[in-house]
Each structure stands twice: as structure tokens, then as C-alpha cells.
């Protein structure tokens, strides 16, 4: 049989589309708009955002289509067929090999096409649409004691369609197999529009049967090659699954040996058919798990042991996962992970293996754990196993392991760990030899790699550090060539987990040989004769090191700009072999470090998750790529590198930044620490320079300046709140929503009330000194919080000094951190205010006196933005002593300094429900809030699992943001409060309290007030 698809014809499609893109794109967009209700995204920024995935590649598509429902996928396909435009199916876009990058129309299923279509509990099956995210599915299955067990590390953002596309594999594949072992059927469109049911071959009919017969014939024809060339490992995801008719996998695809045609589509990376729905086999959710952490003093020994460990468990062994020394060291440096990793290690191991047993009988599992201990003893490693029987420590350790790649990716500078040989799979008996040899290959090329992941199945993740702007592509080719020799020597699979895409397409023929490659081409031709579905990927692929397809390709250049904030910490070089970075500011970034900070985003898509943490509220509400941290980072990268006209000041950048609430969720939750809140300040600064300020920004930012005057006229100032007409008028003038009440001005407030606290001279000499920084909001609008903080601190025996201006300053003005200016990008004004504040606070900080604040966003400005506004050492000194009220008290309590306060506090009468301000969460300060509340006898505290409240300073007040703001609040926060009618609600953020009042008519209070309410009157 001859392959009908020739390199020439496929490339023709590719090039034709690229050349004729303007005309074709216009027609395509027009038809999509008129024939569907879906989103038709054809702007340069939209295309740029969808030009990448979690790989090193970038290929700009013709356009992007986000269908409203499944039928619109068929319509879009028909239009593409008419116009001969290739189609690139997409889920979460977390592929590591460039599978979702292509020149045609990208169809994003993740926003709307994501429902459960049919759940059959008794049969243990579920039919889902392709855009459904794995964690969402598993959350809904939990109550039935079921789960879909292909637990990829990206489970919070990977879609089932994408998982099937890549034949994804989870940490527990030794027990459950890969995606291919768990798909029961697929309904899918061929590129000619036919919708077929791909399921059991023996029951198939019509076109599906014909396809089956065709593939069967190929398998028979190539039987000899199939049997000799096919890797005999569990983890082989390259090429098409021709072996469905002649199983070569160590784990047969079906339990009864019958051929299932859906398995032909699994792993085909969207090149054969477009999935409409998948029927999946569910597994029982184990009720018990135990974990043995084996500590090794040699990496080689760890690798060599895996083959023996996998024989344990009598069917209960579910995972053997590696964490190496570098990963352990990196984890120890990350506050969120340090204590967890310490629970797992004995001394200073070179590697640990996480060995999990799961089932329903904890007693039996404990016995298996003892077998592990005994085995390690027999292997000369007595006392090497940390036994984890309780669930909590196990869960925590798995979180560290799951974050493995991300921990590694936090390296600053141009050298980055690059994915291209990171999932080669070798038989376990060769694992030690393979890893030793590959480590030497890395050394030879002046780099190194960190090893982790699936020791149970011989698939270890490793990414050598390469600088893709310089010699990276060249080294990548050389390392890949040498790695492939090792893979062949050990009879492994070159592509064992993350698929082929652009990175490994060319290696398919290397793996299987020309005859099988020819068979694959025939399969492609048979199913997609029009060559519409992701052409030039698995068949006729480009070279992996074609730099014209790379994100940081030959022409990638940063446009020089003068930044307002200091980004020099990112402006560094790193050494690939030692991972040492040069001094801040030495990285030669023409954007002074901003570009390198933006480029920290590696597109892994963690910001598309919906579970715990804060990141990213605007994506959670909209599900739009543009409104995810990743979408923003990509937009900024395009702007800074001249790929977006108008650069940082362009409307496209404004659009991407518009719904960023500056919550800093990404600063903490993004694995590589992309700090979009800070970037937004920088962007707004540049935008203002060009376009000037809007009235609302002037009004809000200057509030600290005019507050002392406004507060003298509360009647007048509050009129707007009482008159709907005035509110409407104000909305039309300022853009601030008439639906929102504005904070209420009071004539009598903290700043003009009776002086409290001790003088600056007294506090400097005091035995228990503390300085209280009262911000604009707590001072003018909610003075009771400031007084409460003073009372609580005094009751605890502290001499409290209220930070205030010296006489020479403008009289009547309080101190301000500059936050309101930062919110609208007015960095120089913010700096003025911050400087005045720092000058006042410095003498106390120099004397080691704590500076305590109430409003998280204000106080934490001292620990964040103040440090990058060019305020020098003064800012560092003050930052080192600045603490939130609750943070200070929690720390003091640990030192046993709050006994007198505790003795005074009356027992709690009500349950207490806490909502954390995003900045509190970003700085990891929520534990201190709950600890401080627990100073109150009998306090029963519950933390609301919420992201941003949606008010976020002035964001929720703006008419254009009102709906999004409410949706953010309704995601979790407000329903939790409504469901806890009797609870006292604590929220330390001014705007959070406002949002809670607006949405539930409940009065939330600051933790300082809560404590004060429990003091004797
Ligand atoms: C940090 C990190 C960790 C990872 N860990 C793992 C891991 O543990 N195990 C693992 O296997 N992978 C892992 N991956 C790779 C990736 O996350 C998985 O392959 C994931 O399943 C992809 O899902 P997605 O929704 O992002 O798919 P996408 O990347 O959007 O798409 C994947 C493929 O499916 C195709 N596709 C999507 N929808 C359809 C459809 N409707 N019809 C036809 N084809 C379609 C696409 O064209 C593409 O070829 C990891 C990636 C990262 C960045
Ligand atoms: S912003 Fe962070 S979390 Fe989101 S894709 Fe980029 S690196 Fe990942
Ligand atoms: S600051 Fe908040 S809203 Fe903005 S990108 Fe980061 S997580 Fe999203």
C-alpha cells in the first residue's frame, strides 16, 4: 500500500494558509460570525495568545473559535472544509510538545463544551464532552465513591479531550494504565463532517467498521515490523495505536482482548478526528492509602530498587514516584513546601521514592508497608523508610511531588529547563543505567537536569537547562540524538507521556521505522484525506529544532523601555550547569527585567485551575484565555517583543489587564511566581503616560489627599448615597456604578478624635513597644477598627504609638502608603506618599520596633511595591518590621507574650467565619488570622475557601466591572456567608467588607474589632 499523503501536499496546505492568511482569515471570521453564536477571536493578541501551549513553540493560527456548544464545532469544521483551512483542536492548552499550536483555526473546547452527558453509576461509566476538566469530573464523582484515575499532574486544568488527544498518563498508571486503557468509546467527527461512533470493533458498522478493517489490514500487513519495532513498555504514546489489532503494550488495552476503535483516536493528537464526546471507564475511589517514603543515599540505588519495589503490594501498589536531591533542596527553599518535605526525609538523602499502596482495608495496607520496610532492609537499607499512614501528611507530600516541574521552572534568567526528552520510558531493569548515562550526556553539553516522577513505569521526567535564544536549539538536537541512542539500547519508548507534537513528530519514524511510519501516514490519509486536522504534526512534521517555530526564535527581540518599577531581580543570567544566577540587573534585558519577568510564564496553565488558592479570579469567572494570568503574560510578552502593535500602551494590552483585580493570587500560586498585579501597575503607568488618567482614577487615587477636607462635609459628601438620581449622574460622570454605595464619610473619625497611644519618644524607650500605622480607610471610614486595634494591643500590655506626620508636614494629613495611586499606575505619586510614610516609620524600624497595620493591601505595600520603587535601604528596613495586626499578635503569642490578653478575652458566643483578603493569602498570612481568633476562648473558626471577593479596591465600584465583580463574590464567598446565618463574619479588607455588605446585607468585621468586642467593657 502506498501512502497517499505526500510531504508536498501537506506542506502545501500549511503554506497556502499562511500566505493567503489575510483573505482566508477574513472569510473564515465572517462565516463563523454569521453561522454560529460562538466567540470568533481573530485579533493579533488573540492569535498570539493561542499561538503557544506549555511547549517552547509558537505558531500563529489564522484565528480562534470558542464554540458555545458541541454542534458549533461541526459548523466550524464545515466552514474550514469549505475554505480549506486546517483545524487545531484544543482543550486547556497544557501540552508540552506544541500539539495545540498550528496555522489554522484553533477550536477551544474548554469554555463551553464541558458537560457530563451521561453518568451510569452501576456500570461505572461516564460520557463527557471533551472540554471537561479532570478535577471537575472527579469532584462530581466523589460522592459516588468513583473517580477517573488517569491522574495527570495538570488535573486541575487538563481537559479530558486533551488527555485523550495526548494519551495522557497519571502518577498511578502502574495500577490504572494510561488514557488508552480507560477510554471505552468516542464519538468523533471526521474532517469530512461524518460523526462516527468509535467503540468495539466487533459491534461496529458502516464507516467506523470500514476504518477498523483498514487499520486491521495495515496491522496484519506490517505484523513483523509491528512486533519488532514497537516498544514493549506501558508508557509509549508516539505514533498511532496500530497495535490495537496486535497488542504490544505490557498492559493490554482492553481487559477482554477485544479491539476498541476509540483507542485509535487516543494519542492521535487531534490529527485523525475531532472528539465530540468520550465514554470513560471509572474506578472505585480507594478509601485508604498508605505511603512509604524510601530514603536513598545514592541516586543509582534508588533507580535500581524500583524494579524490585514494583513487585510488592499484591495488587495494591499504586505509585512509585521519584524526587531527587535537587528537587528536595528546591522544596526546602520554598516556604510552602519546606515543612512537608522535612517530614519525608531522613538525613540528607540523594533521592526518595514515594511508594503508595491503596485499597479499602488500612490494616492490609499497613502490612504491605511493612513488606516495603522489610524489602529495603534486605537490600541493605534498614531504617530508610518513613511510614505515612495518616491521610494529611500523605496528601501534603503528593502536593510537593505534583508541583515538581513547577518547582524547577522557577529558575530566573534565559536558561530554562526545556521539555523534549523528559518522558522517555525504559524498562525498569535498565532505569539506573539509563539515568546514569543521560546525566553524563547532560554534563558533556554543559548542562544538568533534575530527575523526578514515575519510577514505577520507567518514565522519569528530566529537563536539561538550555538557553533557547542562544545555543539551546543546537544543544537540544545534540542531546536528543544521544538520548535516542540510549532509548534504543534499552529498548524503550522515546515518547512516553507528553506526546509527539512539534517536538517529537520527527522521532516517530525513528522509533517505528519507515514502514510503520508509512502505515501511520495511510491511517491519516484514510481518516483525514483533506488533511485538515492538525496537518504536519504526526505526519510530515517539521524538525524539532526549527527555530522559526519557537517562541524565543531567531527574531525574538525585546523593545527597550524605561520601567517605572524596579524589575532588576529578573534581569539576570543563569549558568546552565550550576544554576547560579548573576547579580540583579546584569541580564541585558532591554526592558530592564520586565520582559524577563513576563517570560517566566511557561504557559503550564496552572492559572486555569478552579480549586483551592486565589489565582485567578477573573479566569474563574470568565473562562477566557485573555483573562487568565497566562493570557495576560502572553499578551505582555507579545507587546514587549514588538509582536503587538502599540506595545504596552495598546488597547489589546488594556483589554487583557482590564479584569485583573491585582489580587496577587498569581504571585503566590503561579509556580513560577508571575506577579501580574505588579505588572499591571507597570502597564498602567505606561498607558497613563500616553493616554492620561481617567476621571475615576483621579478621584479614587487622590482620596487620601482630600479625605481630611471631605470628612468635614459628611452631609454633602454622603448625598450621592442617598439619592439614586445623583448616583446615576455620578456614574455617567465618573464610571463608578450607581448600584454601589460609596464609603460613608464621618465628621468624627480616628484622625481628629481624641489622641490615643504614646508619643514617639515614649515608644522608642518602651519595654513592649509597637507602632500602629492607621491607613486612610480604617482611619476615616471605619475608625472603630483603629481604636479597637489600639485597645487590643494596649490590653496585651504594649505601648502603642500611632504613626503620624511630624509638625513640618502639611497639617491635617495622615500617612498613606500610596496604594490608591499604585492601583492606577501612578508610580511617582505613590512613591511620594510611600517615601513620607517610610521616613516616619524608619526610626522605629531601626530600633527593631514592629510596625503594625490593619488594611492588608496598605500594610503589605510596605513589604511589596515599596521595595521596587527606588526607595533604597529605608524601604528594606521598614519592610523587615512591617506586619499585619494579626501577624504580629500570632508571632507574639508564639513567644508567650499574650498571656495577659488571653486572660481578658471573654468566650466566643458565635461561630466565626473568616474571609481572607487576597493580599493576606498571597503573603501566606491566613494561618495567623485563625490563630489570633483562637486566642478567644471557645472560638470555633471556619475559613471560607474563596478567591478574590471581587471588590478589589475600586474594581468592583466601576460600572464596567460590576457584573464580573458580583460573579467573583458569588463564586464562593457570598453563598458561604448566606449558608452560615448565625456566624460572625470576619474580613480584614475594607473592600471585602463592603462586598459582603452589598451582597448579603451582613456586617463583616475586622479581626481587631472582633478581639476588642471580647475584651471587658
Ligand atoms: C506542568 C505540567 C505537568 C504535566 N503533567 C502531565 C502528567 O502528569 N501526565 C501527562 O500525561 N501529561 C502531563 N502534562 C501534559 C498535559 O498537561 C497533558 O497531556 C494534558 O492531558 C493535556 O490536556 P489539555 O486539556 O491541556 O490538552 P491540550 O493541550 O489542549 O490538547 C492536547 C491534544 O489533544 C488534542 N485535542 C484537544 N481537544 C480535542 C478534541 N475535542 N478532539 C480531538 N483532539 C483534541 C489537541 O489538538 C492536542 O493534540 C503536563 C504538562 C505540564 C505543563
Ligand atoms: S502565569 Fe504562571 S500559572 Fe499561569 S501559565 Fe504562566 S507560569 Fe503557569
Ligand atoms: S493578580 Fe489576580 S486577577 Fe490579576 S492575574 Fe494575578 S491572580 Fe489573576
* 82/4: higher pLDDT: 82
Contact 101, 550 (CB under 8 A): no
Contact 496, 237 (CB under 8 A): yes
Nearest ligand 3 atom, CA 614: 7
pLDDT of residue 972: 93
Q: Cα–Cα distance between 676 and 811 in angstroms, integer? A: 37
List phi, psi (to 5°) of 262: -60, -25
Contact 423, 234 (CB under 8 A): no
- Residues 93-145 pLDDT 10s: 999 999 999 999 999 999 999 999 999 999 999 999 999 999 999 999 999 99
The alpha carbon torsion through 386, 391, 393, 396 (nearest 10 deg) reads 130
DSSP 483: H
What's the burial of 347, exposed, middle or buried (CB within 10 Å: 0-12/13-18/19+)?
exposed
Per the structure block, which three cell numbers stand in for 598? Answer: 513576563
Q: Give me the mean pLDDT over the 931-936 stretch.
A: 98
Ligand 2 mean position to 338 CA, how many Å? 22
List phi, psi (to 5°) of 116: -80, 130
Please indicate whether residue 660, judged by its CB atom, sits closer than 6 Å to ligand 3. yes
Contact 935, 1003 (CB under 8 A): no
Structure confidence at residue 814 as a pLDDT band (50, 70, 90): confident
Q: Give me the mean pLDDT over the 843-854 stretch.
A: 98
- Residues 570-612 pLDDT 10s: 999 988 888 788 999 999 999 999 999 999 999 999 999 987 7
Q: Which of 346-355, 713-722, 775-784 is the least confident region?
A: 713-722
pLDDT of residue 8: 37
pLDDT of residue 9: 38
Angle between helices 514-527 and 206-221 (to 10 degrees): 170
Ligand 2 pocket test: pick from 614, 631, 672, 678 the residue with the most ligand atoms within 8 Å of its Cβ: 672
State whether residue 255 is helix, strand or coil. Answer: coil
Percentage helix, strand, coil, to 5, in the chain? 45, 15, 40
Q: Which ligand is nearest to the Cα of residue 667, counting in written order?
A: 3
Nearest ligand 2 atom, CA 633: 1
Among 776, 755, 772, 754, CA closest to 763: 772
pLDDT of residue 334: 77
* 636/330: higher pLDDT: 636
Q: For ligand 2, atom 7, name the residue with the nearest CA.
A: 601
Ligand 3 mean position to 370 CA, how many Å? 46
- Residues 756-787 pLDDT 10s: 999 999 999 999 999 999 999 999 999 999 99
List phi, psi (to 5°) of 103: -85, -10
Q: Give me the mean pLDDT over the 708-723 stretch.
A: 91
What are the DSSP calls for 871-911, one per residue?
A: -HHHHHHHHHHEEEHHHHHHHHHHTT--HHHHHHPPPP-S-
Q: Which ligand is nearest to the Cα of residue 618, counting in written order?
A: 3
Per the structure block, which three cell numbers stand in for 500? Answer: 509527539
H or E segment and range at residue 453: strand 451-454
pLDDT of residue 38: 97
- Residues 415-444 pLDDT 10s: 888 999 999 999 999 999 999 999 999 999
Q: Cα–Cα distance between 263 and 198 in angstroms, integer? A: 8
Q: Which of 194-198, 220-224, 553-557, 744-748 is the least confident region?
A: 553-557
Q: Cα–Cα distance between 363 and 224 in angstroms, integer? A: 48
Q: Which of 56-70, 557-571, 794-808 is the least confident region?
A: 794-808
Ligand 3 mean position to 629 CA, how many Å? 6
Please indicate whether residue 607, judged by its CB atom, sits closer than 6 Å to ligand 2. yes
Q: Give me the mean pLDDT over the 493-504 stretch.
A: 95
Residue 291 has pLDDT above 80, yes or no: yes
Residue 277 has pLDDT above 60, yes or no: yes
Residue 614 has pLDDT above 60, yes or no: yes
Q: For ligand 3, atom 8, name the residue with the nearest CA.
A: 616
Q: Give me the mean pLDDT over the 556-570 stretch.
A: 97
pLDDT of residue 10: 36
pLDDT of residue 19: 56
Per the structure block, which three cell numbers stand in for 904? Answer: 481578658
Q: Which ligand is nearest to the Cα of residue 96, counting in written order?
A: 1
Q: For ligand 3, atom 5, name the residue with the nearest CA.
A: 629
Tell me the pLDDT of the chain averaged across its residues: 94
Structure confidence at residue 669 as a pLDDT band (50, 70, 90): confident
- Residues 978-988 pLDDT 10s: 999 999 999 99
Alpha helices in 692-723 (DSSP H): 695-701, 703-710, 714-717, 719-722
Q: Cα–Cα distance between 59 and 406 in angstroms, integer? A: 24
Give bridge partners of residue 912 from the DSSP assignment: 941, 984
Structure confidence at residue 4 as a pLDDT band (50, 70, 90): very low
Ligand 1 pocket test: pick from 77, 138, 158 the residue with the most ligand atoms within 8 Å of its Cβ: 158
Q: Give me the mean pLDDT over the 612-636 stretch.
A: 95
Per the structure block, which three cell numbers stand in for 652? Answer: 489589546
Contact 352, 342 (CB under 8 A): no
Q: Cα–Cα distance between 283 and 172 in angstroms, integer? A: 12
pLDDT of residue 611: 77
pLDDT of residue 17: 53
Ligand 3 mean position to 563 CA, how many Å? 20
Structure confidence at residue 403 as a pLDDT band (50, 70, 90): confident
Ligand 1 mean position to 58 CA, how many Å? 16
DSSP 459: E
pTM of the model: 0.95
Q: Which of 167-171, 516-520, 530-534, 809-813 is the least confident region?
A: 809-813
State whether residue 146 is helix, strand or coil. Answer: strand
**CA 270 from chain center: how many Å?**
24
pLDDT of residue 7: 36
Q: For ligand 1, atom 50, name the residue with the nearest CA.
A: 154
Q: Which ligand is nearest to the Cα of residue 538, counting in written order?
A: 1
Structure confidence at residue 21 as a pLDDT band (50, 70, 90): low
What is the rounded radius of gyration, in angstroms, for the C-alpha atoms of the chain? 30
What's the burial of 702, exposed, middle or buried (CB within 10 Å: 0-12/13-18/19+)?
middle
Per the structure block, which three cell numbers stand in for 893? Answer: 503569642
> 847 CB contacts (<8 Å, ≥6 apart)?
764, 769
Please indicate whether residue 632, judged by its CB atom, sits closer than 6 Å to ligand 2. no
Q: Cα–Cα distance between 61 and 859 in angstroms, integer? A: 45
Q: Cα–Cα distance between 242 and 225 in angstroms, integer? A: 11
- Percent of the chain residues past pLDDT 90, beyond the cut: 88
Please indicate whether residue 616, judged by its CB atom, sits closer than 6 Å to ligand 3. yes
Contact 544, 504 (CB under 8 A): yes
- The side-by-side arrangement of strands in the sheet containing 87-90 is 39-41, 63-66, 105-108, 87-90
Q: Give me the mean pLDDT over the 216-220 stretch.
A: 98
Amino acid at each position: 500500500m502506498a501512502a497517499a499523503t505526500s510531504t508536498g501536499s501537506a506542506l502545501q496546505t500549511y503554506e497556502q494558509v499562511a500566505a493567503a492568511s489575510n483573505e482566508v482569515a477574513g472569510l473564515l471570521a465572517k462565516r463563523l460570525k454569521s453561522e454560529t453564536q460562538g466567540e470568533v477571536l481573530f485579533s493579533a493578541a488573540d492569535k498570539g495568545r493561542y499561538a503557544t501551549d506549555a511547549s517552547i513553540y509558537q505558531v500563529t493560527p489564522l484565528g480562534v473559535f470558542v464554540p458555545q456548544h458541541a454542534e458549533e464545532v461541526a459548523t466550524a469544521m464545515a466552514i474550514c472544509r469549505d475554505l480549506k483551512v486546517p483545524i487545531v483542536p484544543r482543550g486547556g492548552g497544557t501540552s508540552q510538545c506544541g500539539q495545540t499550536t498550528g496555522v489554522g483555526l484553533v477550536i477551544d473546547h474548554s469554555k463551553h463544551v464541558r458537560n457530563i452527558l451521561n453518568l451510569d453509576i452501576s456500570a461505572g461509566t461516564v460520557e463527557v464532552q471533551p472540554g471537561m476538566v479532570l478535577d471537575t469530573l472527579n469532584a462530581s464523582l466523589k460522592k459516588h465513591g468513583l473517580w477517573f484515575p488517569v491522574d495527570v499532574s495538570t488535573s486541575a486544568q487538563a481537559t479530558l479531550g486533551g488527555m485523550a488527544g495526548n494519551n495522557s498518563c497519571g502518577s498511578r498508571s502502574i495500577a490504572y494504565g494510561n488514557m488508552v486503557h480507560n477510554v471505552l468509546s468516542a464519538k468523533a467527527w471526521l474532517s469530512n463532517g461524518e460523526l462516527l461512533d468509535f467503540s468495539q470493533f466487533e459491534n461496529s458498522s458502516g464507516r467506523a467498521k470500514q476504518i477498523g478493517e483498514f487499520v486491521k489490514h495495515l496491522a496484519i500487513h506490517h505484523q513483523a515490523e509491528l512486533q519488532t519495532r514497537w516498544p514493549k513498555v506501558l508508557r509509549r504514546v508516539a505514533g498511532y495505536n496500530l497495535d490495537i489489532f496486535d497488542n504490544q503494550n505490557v498492559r493490554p488495552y482492553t481487559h477482554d482482548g477485544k479491539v476498541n476503535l476509540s483507542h485509535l483516536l487516543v494519542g492521535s493528537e487531534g490529527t485523525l478526528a475531532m472528539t465530540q464526546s468520550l465514554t470513560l471507564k471509572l474506578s472505585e475511589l480507594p478509601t485508604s492509602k498508605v505511603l512509604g517514603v524510601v530514603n536513598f543515599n545514592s541516586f543509582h540505588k534508588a533507580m535500581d530498587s524500583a524494579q524490585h519495589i514494583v513487585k510488592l503490594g499484591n495488587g495494591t501498589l499504586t505509585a512509585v514516584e521519584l524526587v531527587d536531591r535537587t528537587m528536595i533542596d528546591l522544596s526546602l527553599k520554598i516556604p510552602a513546601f519546606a515543612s512537608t518535605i522535612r517530614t519525608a526525609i531522613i538525613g540528607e538523602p540523594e533521592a526518595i521514592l514515594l511508594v503508595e499502596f491503596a485499597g479499602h482495608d488500612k490494616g492490609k495496607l499497613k502490612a504491605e508497608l511493612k513488606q516495603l520496610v522489610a524489602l529495603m532492609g534486605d537490600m541493605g537499607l534498614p531504617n530508610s523508610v518513613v511510614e505515612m499512614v495518616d491521610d494529611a501528611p500523605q496528601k501534603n507530600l503528593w502536593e510537593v511531588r505534583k508541583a515538581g516541574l513547577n518547582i524547577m521552572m522557577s529558575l530566573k534568567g534565559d536558561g530554562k529547563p526545556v521539555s523534549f526528552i523528559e518522558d522517555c520510558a525504559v524498562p525498569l531493569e535498565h532505569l539506573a543505567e539509563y539515568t546514569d548515562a543521560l546525566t553524563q550526556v547532560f554534563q558533556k553539553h554543559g548542562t544538568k537536569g533534575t530527575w523526578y516522577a514515575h519510577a514505577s513505569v520507567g518514565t522519569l521526567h528530566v529537563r536539561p537547562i538550555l538557553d533557547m535564544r542562544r545555543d539551546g536549539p543546537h544543544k537540544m538536537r545534540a542531546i536528543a540524538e544521544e538520548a535516542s541512542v540510549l532509548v534504543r539500547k534499552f529498548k524503550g519508548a522515546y515518547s512516553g507521556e507528553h506526546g509527539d507534537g512539534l517536538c517529537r513528530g520527527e522521532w516517530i519514524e525513528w522509533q517505528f521505522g519507515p514502514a510503520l511510519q508509512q502505515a501511520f501516514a495511510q491511517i491519516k490519509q484514510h481518516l483525514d484525506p483533506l488533511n485538515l486536522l492538525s496537518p504536519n504534526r504526526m505526519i510530515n512534521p517539521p524538525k524539532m529544532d526549527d527555530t522559526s517555530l519557537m517562541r524565543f526564535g531567531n527574531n525574538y527581540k525585546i523593545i527597550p523601555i524605561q520601567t517605572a518599577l524596579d524589575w532588576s531581580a529578573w534581569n539576570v543570567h543563569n549558568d546552565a550547569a550550576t544554576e547560579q544566577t548573576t547579580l540583579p540587573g546584569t541580564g541585558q534585558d532591554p526592558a530592564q527585567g520586565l520582559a524577563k519577568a513576563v517570560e517566566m510564564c511557561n504557559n503550564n496553565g496552572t492559572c486555569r485551575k478552579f480549586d483551592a488558592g486565589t489565582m485567578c479570579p477573573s479566569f474563574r469567572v470568565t473562562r477566557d484565555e485573555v483573562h487568565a494570568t497566562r493570557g495576560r503574560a502572553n499578551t505582555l510578552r507579545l507587546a514587549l517583543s514588538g509582536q503587538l502593535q502599540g506595545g504596552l500602551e495598546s488597547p489589546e494590552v488594556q483589554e487583557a489587564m482590564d479584569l485583573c483585580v491585582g489580587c496577587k493570587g498569581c504571585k503566590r500560586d503561579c509556580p513560577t511566581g508571575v506577579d501580574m498585579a505588579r505588572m499591571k501597575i507597570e502597564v498602567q503607568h505606561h498607558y497613563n503616560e500616553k493616554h492620561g488618567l481617567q476621571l475615576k482614577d483621579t478621584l479614587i487615587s487622590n482620596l487620601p489627599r482630600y479625605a481630611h477636607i471631605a470628612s468635614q462635609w459628611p452631609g454633602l459628601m454622603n448625598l450621592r448615597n442617598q439619592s439614586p438620581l445623583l448616583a446615576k449622574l455620578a456614574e455617567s460622570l465618573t464610571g463608578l456604578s450607581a448600584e454601589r454605595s460609596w464609603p460613608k464619610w464621618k465628621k468624627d473619625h480616628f484622625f481628629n478624635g481624641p489622641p490615643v497611644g504614646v508619643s514617639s519618644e515614649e515608644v522608642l524607650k518602651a519595654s513592649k513597644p509597637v507602632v500602629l500605622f492607621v491607613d486612610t480607610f480604617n482611619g476615616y471610614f471605619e475608625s472603630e477598627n483603629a481604636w479597637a486595634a489600639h485597645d487590643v494591643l494596649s490590653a496585651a500590655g504594649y505601648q502603642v504609638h500611632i504613626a503620624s506626620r511630624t509638625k513640618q508636614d502639611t497639617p491635617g494629613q495622615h500617612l498613606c502608603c500610596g496604594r490608591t495611586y499604585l492601583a492606577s499606575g501612578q508610580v511617582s505619586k505613590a512613591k511620594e506618599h510611600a517615601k513620607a510614610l517610610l521616613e516616619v516609620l524608619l526610626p522605629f524600624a531601626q530600633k527593631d520596633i514592629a510596625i503594625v497595620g490593619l488594611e492588608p493591601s496598605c500594610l503589605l505595600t510596605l513589604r511589596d511595591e515599596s521595595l521596587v520603587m527606588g526607595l533604597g535601604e529605608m524601604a528594606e528596613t521598614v519592610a523587615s518590621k512591617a506586619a499585619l495586626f494579626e501577624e504580629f499578635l500570632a508571632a507574639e503569642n508564639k513567644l508567650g507574650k499574650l498571656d495577659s490578653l488571653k486572660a481578658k478575652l471573654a468566650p466566643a458566643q458565635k461561630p466565626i467565619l473568616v474571609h481572607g483578603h487576597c493580599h493576606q493569602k498571597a503573603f501566606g498570612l491566613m494561618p495567623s488570622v485563625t490563630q489570633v481568633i483562637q486566642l478567644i476562648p471557645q472560638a470555633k473558626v471556619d475559613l471560607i475557601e474563596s478567591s478574590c471577593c471581587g471588590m478589589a479596591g475600586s474594581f468592583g465600584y466601576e460600572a464596567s466591572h460590576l457584573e464580573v465583580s458580583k460573579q467573583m463574590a458569588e463564586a464562593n464567598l457570598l453563598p458561604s456567608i448566606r449558608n452560615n446565618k448565625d456566624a460572625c463574619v470576619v474580613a480584614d479588607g475594607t473592600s471585602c467588607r463592603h462586598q459582603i455588605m452589598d451582597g448579603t446585607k451582613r456586617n463583616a468585621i475586622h479581626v481587631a474589632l472582633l478581639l476588642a468586642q471580647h475584651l471587658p467593657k
